[in-house]
Structure 1
Amino acid sequence: MMYGLLWRALPGPVWLRVLLVLVLLVAAVWVCFEWVFPWFSEYVPINDNTVEAHP
């Protein structure tokens, strides 16, 4: 349903709608990599090791 609302909200013929959807998708991915993932990585201990090396 959400995709249908987005598709109907975009102006122009089909080729322009497809282009706009691709631009919006690229923009959403870019925002995630630039701001969301770096902010989120501060709160998730992904690099914490739980296995200690024995000499």
Structure 2
Amino acid sequence: MNKWDKEYCTQFLDEVDYLANKGIKYVFVKRIDGVRNYKYTKTPELFEALAVFYKTII
């Protein structure tokens, strides 16, 4: 049985800033080996914003 991860995680601060500007806020921050990991609840709005973000930076 596979488990479904309910959170999306990123350390990319440009991505965090972009999502904040779109009104999408992280649920919590977890520090692992001194690196901040921002966790977001997976939603259609999150993935739509991420698609636009990565489409524009490439």
Q: TM-score, normalised by structure 2?
A: 0.30
Relative contact order (alpha carbons < 8 A, sep ≥ 6): 1 or 2 greater? 2
Q: TM-score, normalised by structure 1?
A: 0.32
**Structure number having the greater strand percentage:** 2
